[in-house]
Amino acid sequence: MTSTSTLKTTRTSATVWLIGKSTETLSYSRLPSKGDVLKQFHFHHIEKLQTVKKSIRTTVETVLEIWERARIPTRRIDSVQRTLSKLVDEYNLLKKNRNNSLESCRMKEEVFKGDLVDIFDIAVKDALNIMKNEDDKIFLVMQREDTMSCSMAGIDKCLNDKEIRKRKRETEAETRRLRVCDQEEANQELVSLSEMTDSNKDSSSDDEFQVPSTSTNMKKPKKIINVFTEDVVASLDRVNLSDRNAMFVVGAVAQALGTPVSDISLSRSTIRRHRNQIRQTVVETDKASFSSQHPLVLHWDSKLLPNIVDGVQKVDRVAVLVSGGGLEKLLEVPKIIKGTGKEQADACLTVLDEWELKAQVGGLCFDTTSSNTGLNLGACSLIEKSLAPDKELVFIACRHHVFEVMLSSVFKEVFGPSEGPDVNLFKRFKKKWLEIDQENFIIGHDNFFNTKNLLKLRQDMQKYYIDAIKTQQPRDDYFELLKLCQIFLGKPEKTEVRFRAPGALHQARWMA
């Protein structure tokens, strides 16, 4: 059999590690392999500069077209997208560890490379039982064994014409059935109205006879209530309810309010569709309505979070927000391949471009990590070069990390250099916490503040702690730190003293 299409590449096609050159099109003569699918995904993502989500969508649409041409029943498009997303994530994880010298990493790369020749199987579970044509079944089995073992020569015109005639007959039969049902329903309405007219004529012979009309007494279609408003969807998202759990909750609430479940548009797919539509509408409305006449400060921070698709693997995401003019706005939390300065900078610039806020950014707020503060490849330098090549942006380093430098210097002066990630003194203190008498503690005596300046500083700090607790309403570690300082400087009553159990012991965070 001859091939009807070949993989199209260009000289400028990007060479992808472990995969090869990216391809613009897929062959229609056979079912695509995992390697073919990844090549086209990277073509859309790298050369066409599409987002990961859009590249997956475009690639999946092409793959489904090929499988449909092969007359093989496939899974839904969202299921196929999840399959491709998992394959891309698996590849990105290997790429992230390619410089690792462990033998296990090399073994995983070889296993993955061997799997690339396997078919990208998106058929339904019982495809062979559903399919009627024996040639199609044999083709699927052979493709699963070896994608190069056979190919499609083209469309079978005779079989295609036969299927078109079959679908036409089924459509005509369905139309006739509906027409018969409508006629029977109209006749039943006419009979019931005639009986009603006869009974009325018997009770009052002076009434004028009128021919019953079937057009005005047809049953009106039942109106389905849509309960998934913007507020309802926002509430479901806030408590992190899945579509299936949301279906149970909404159904139970509707029954409790006296509304039949049959009157509500209630199914998992309907809920999913409404949630996606409302989310998209909210985002578009938010983007169109958001505006600020003040200079803005760009904030970002990356974090490893569970993947939305499977909830098992961890993916890098970067939170991007702006502040200024008395407002704070979270723009987006996009997924990035890895947490390098370039990836974070590209994500921030893409989000700013979508919200049309590039011209208003006048400062950057960031963590003092090497990926942010690197001279050439740091996110700060890359963002500044793109946003303000002719001017300098204000760099605002995160105060937590500044405090960390100051406190670590004080701690080092008192306790000496660190010998590991944990502090042994604090470790023993935490272990013996339940055995410590918390009523027996010592506060800062007056002889600690034996100079005029120290006494004044003590009074000023006591006022500051009281004011900070009342006005700033700090939480968690900040509140605990203020209370401990307040206890040490003052002379509190025993009823006011409350010590929390020791928390983190490591030195990765300045409040630990």
For the ranges 51-60, 156-165, 376-385, 424-433, the lowest mean pLDDT is seen at 156-165
Considering the domain boundaries, does residue 52 fall inside one? yes
- Kindly list the distances between the CA atom of residue 418 and the CA atoms of 228, 246, 430, in Å, as whole numbers in the listed order: 56, 51, 18
Considering the domain boundaries, does residue 7 fall inside one? no
Are residue 61 and residue 135 in the same domain, yes or no?
yes
Q: How many whole angstroms separate alpha carbon 423 and alpha carbon 103?
A: 34
Q: How many whole angstroms separate alpha carbon 459 and alpha carbon 163?
A: 91
Q: pLDDT-derived band of residue 394, with 50, 70 and 90 as boundaries?
A: very high
pLDDT digits (tens, 9 = 90+) for 236-258: 888 888 888 888 888 888 888 88
Considering the domain boundaries, does residue 99 fall inside one? yes
Q: pLDDT-derived band of residue 9, with 50, 70 and 90 as boundaries?
A: low
Q: What is the pTM of this model?
A: 0.46
pLDDT digits (tens, 9 = 90+) for 336-374: 988 899 999 999 999 999 998 998 999 999 988 889 989
The gap from C-alpha 443 to its chain's centroid, in whole angstroms, comes to 50
Considering the domain boundaries, does residue 406 fall inside one? no
Enumerate the β-bridge partners of residue 327.
324
- Bigger pLDDT: 112 or 178? 112
Are residue 105 and residue 56 in the same domain, yes or no?
yes
Q: What percent of the chain has pLDDT over 90?
A: 24
- On the question of pLDDT at 498 being above 70, the answer is yes
- On the question of pLDDT at 203 being above 70, the answer is no
Nearest to 423 by CA among 407, 437, 440: 407
Last residue of a domain, one of 122, 145, 168: 145
- Bigger pLDDT: 320 or 508? 320
Exposure string (b/e) for 369-383, b if CB count within 10 Å is 16 or more?
bebbbbeeebbbbbb
Considering the domain boundaries, does residue 184 fall inside one? no
Are residue 274 and residue 343 in the same domain, yes or no?
no
Contact in structure between 180 and 188 (CB atoms under 8 Å)? no
Are residue 248 and residue 333 in the same domain, yes or no?
no
β-pairing, 327-332 vs 314-324, is antiparallel
Are residue 276 and residue 329 in the same domain, yes or no?
no
Helix, strand, coil percentages for the chain (3-state, nearest 5)? 55, 10, 35
Q: How many whole angstroms separate alpha carbon 237 and alpha carbon 229?
A: 12
Q: pLDDT-derived band of residue 5, with 50, 70 and 90 as boundaries?
A: very low
Q: What are phi and psi of 314, to 5 degrees?
A: -95, 140
Q: pLDDT-derived band of residue 195, with 50, 70 and 90 as boundaries?
A: low
Considering the domain boundaries, does residue 61 fall inside one? yes
Residue 263's pLDDT is: 78
- Kindly list the distances between the CA atom of residue 432 and the CA atoms of 425, 426, 499, in Å, as whole numbers in the listed order: 11, 10, 14
How much is the average pLDDT of 27-49? 91
- Residue-number span of the structural domain to which 70 is assigned: 15-145
pLDDT digits (tens, 9 = 90+) for 487-497: 888 765 555 67
CB burial of residue 107 (10 Å; 0-12, 13-18, 19+): exposed
- Bigger pLDDT: 108 or 198? 108
Residue 429's pLDDT is: 87
- On the question of pLDDT at 193 being above 50, the answer is no
Contact in structure between 286 and 330 (CB atoms under 8 Å)? no
- On the question of pLDDT at 73 being above 80, the answer is yes
Considering the domain boundaries, does residue 26 fall inside one? yes
Q: How many whole angstroms separate alpha carbon 252 and alpha carbon 264?
A: 12
Enumerate the β-bridge partners of residue 506.
422
241 token code pair: 């309810």
- On the question of pLDDT at 210 being above 70, the answer is no
Are residue 235 and residue 324 in the same domain, yes or no?
no
Are residue 31 and residue 125 in the same domain, yes or no?
yes
Q: Token match 């408590």: residue?
A: 239
The pLDDT mean for the chain works out to 81
Q: What percent of the chain has pLDDT over 70?
A: 83
Considering the domain boundaries, does residue 217 fall inside one? no
Are residue 27 and residue 50 in the same domain, yes or no?
yes
361 token code pair: 């950014």
Are residue 138 and residue 22 in the same domain, yes or no?
yes
- Bigger pLDDT: 219 or 143? 143
**What SS3 state is found at 8?**
coil
Nearest to 363 by CA among 391, 402, 331: 391
Question: Dihedral (C-alpha) 337, 339, 341, 343: value to the nearest 10 degrees?
Answer: 20
Residue 352's pLDDT is: 93
Are residue 41 and residue 141 in the same domain, yes or no?
yes
- On the question of pLDDT at 279 being above 80, the answer is yes
Q: How many whole angstroms separate alpha carbon 271 and alpha carbon 246?
A: 8
Q: pLDDT-derived band of residue 1, with 50, 70 and 90 as boundaries?
A: very low
Last residue of a domain, one of 145, 175, 201: 145
Are residue 140 and residue 87 in the same domain, yes or no?
yes
- On the question of pLDDT at 115 being above 50, the answer is yes
- On the question of pLDDT at 3 being above 50, the answer is no
Residue 154's pLDDT is: 59
- Kindly list the distances between the CA atom of residue 128 and the CA atoms of 119, 211, 332, 487, in Å, as whole numbers in the listed order: 16, 59, 44, 75
Contact in structure between 38 and 16 (CB atoms under 8 Å)? yes
Residue 391's pLDDT is: 77
Last residue of a domain, one of 355, 374, 397: 397
Residue 172's pLDDT is: 81
Are residue 260 and residue 319 in the same domain, yes or no?
no
- Bigger pLDDT: 190 or 98? 98
Q: What's the domain count of the chain?
A: 3
Assign residue 373 the CATH number of its domain: 3.30.420.10
Residue 491's pLDDT is: 60
The gap from C-alpha 201 to its chain's centroid, in whole angstroms, comes to 69
